[in-house]
Copies of this chain bind each other. A is one copy, B any other.
């Protein structure tokens, strides 16, 4: 399968516009880690790919955590003494401290102030704040808004419910020849924030759409989950199956105009780490590879020491490092069609590498085979060789059953597609045989996840 070649025949700008359109549809919804916002969001994804929706009841124990009450909200406002809505949830889902308990009362500005969140450095922007596990209520407002509020009595109303219900997540599973899985995970719990993480959501959905119905080597599992508690819930319910995950990516913040950032898995040298680094090196105008750290997105859970899964995180801007992060300025203007499309292209290139990254054996390993008689060499001696022939020589030289095509691409400095094409040609000429998957699995240093004996034995 040559996924990337197909992709590159499409119109990138059209793809980007479609991704942006989908973001626009989802933008107004007030999402949280539970509740109807997430259900509406997943329903929209279901319109594009086959999604299995799971509902996990409030109170379910998931490792050290408990599935919280379900939160829903109809309306919220602050009215001034004249009854005018000076803060209005209908205008922005960010205005409510996410997971606020219901409240309806009157109070002076002094008391109200302790429930108001602003960003003085960016007085026009509304911050995004949450209080999932401490019962609280509050409003997020622009600093300018706060400054116009005069002393006096205000009516505050948060028409929310916090009650037993469910945590909802969606899962799209695409079976391949191997039961080994590639995990693509994105969080879908943020309200009206575009880059974080409608961008990850729409790109993941588009990638799933792209892979649906294809003849795949790996099986693919796309998770559309609430951040942290969603990943923890999914891992708790799938603990015995996570060892199948061979490669994984968390997709988040991939719609803005920054260069790419890839944060490596905890292992640091997993195949996904090499794959993404290689793809970015050859396909991205600007990128940076970051070492693993335990703060960030849901890779925190996938890379916790008990699992230590080979899951990295692909971003453009890095969380917390750009002013728009977790504010109303992370809006639909902040993400761009072209960047969304290029992010999908990078994801496609990553899948292309994973699908084709086999190990081969040179069947004529003693000296070079005579490429000329197979029309695989240049006709006249004495001239330089081109990229195609060079790639063939590299594949022949390093196909000793131990080097994968990605290893060869990295050592040669050539792009993976050139190496992969060379392998195809050489195999068709009877010069290479592919190492069967089961042999490859044995020689691969695949750490069994969900199994950390040293930790266990010490309890």
Contact = CB atoms under 8 A, between A and B. Distances in A.
Interface of A: 62-65, 97-98, 117, 127-134, 136, 228, 231-232, 235-236, 239, 266, 291, 293-295, 300-301, 303-308, 320, 326, 361-370, 372-373, 379-385, 390, 393-394, 396-402, 411-412, 433, 435, 439, 450, 452, 454-455, 458-459
A439 to B, nearest CB: 8
A131 B390 CA distance: 19
A284 B428 CA distance: 46
A136 to B, nearest CB: 8
B293 A401 contact: no
A300 B385 CA distance: 14
Contact of A364 (B64, B127, B385, B399): B64
Contacts of A62: 367
A129 B378 CA distance: 12
A450 B431 CA distance: 18
- Central interface residue in A65, A308, A367, by most chain B CB within 10 Å: A367
A382 B294 contact: no
Contact of A294 (B97, B304, B396): B396
Given A373-B133, A401-B458, A367 B64 contact: yes
A245 B366 CA distance: 15
B458 A383 contact: no
A8 to B, nearest CB: 28
Contacts of A433: 458-459
B399 A368 contact: no
11 contacts: A63-B364, A64-B367, A65-B367, A97-B380, A98-B382, A117-B380, A294-B393, A306-B362, A306-B367, A361-B455, A363-B459
B64 A370 contact: yes
Given A372-B133, A401-B455, A458-B401, A304 B382 contact: no
B367 A397 contact: no
A452 B400 contact: yes
Nearest to A381: B130
Nearest to A383: B129
A385 B400 CA distance: 48
A122 to B, nearest CB: 14
Contacts of A369: 63-64
Q: Which 10 pairs from chain A and chain B are nearest by CB?
A: A306-B365, A130-B381, A306-B366, A294-B397, A401-B454, A294-B393, A64-B369, A305-B400, A129-B382, A232-B367
Contacts of A136: 380
Contacts of A399: 305
A103 to B, nearest CB: 17
Contact of A133 (B98, B370, B452): B370
A360 to B, nearest CB: 10
B383 A63 contact: no
A422 to B, nearest CB: 11
Nearest to A268: B411
Contact of A394 (B294, B304, B402): B294
Contacts of A129: 380-383
A1 to B, nearest CB: 23
A98 B383 CA distance: 13
A397 B303 CA distance: 8
A286 to B, nearest CB: 24
Nearest to A66: B370
B362 A455 contact: yes
A433 B454 CA distance: 12
Given A266-B397, A452-B400, A379 B303 contact: no
Nearest to A393: B294
Given A136-B380, A301-B367, A326-B382, 7 more contacts: A64-B368, A64-B369, A131-B381, A304-B397, A362-B455, A400-B454, A401-B454
Nearest to A434: B458
A458 B361 contact: yes
A432 to B, nearest CB: 11
Contact of A458 (B300, B373, B435): B435
A368 B450 CA distance: 14
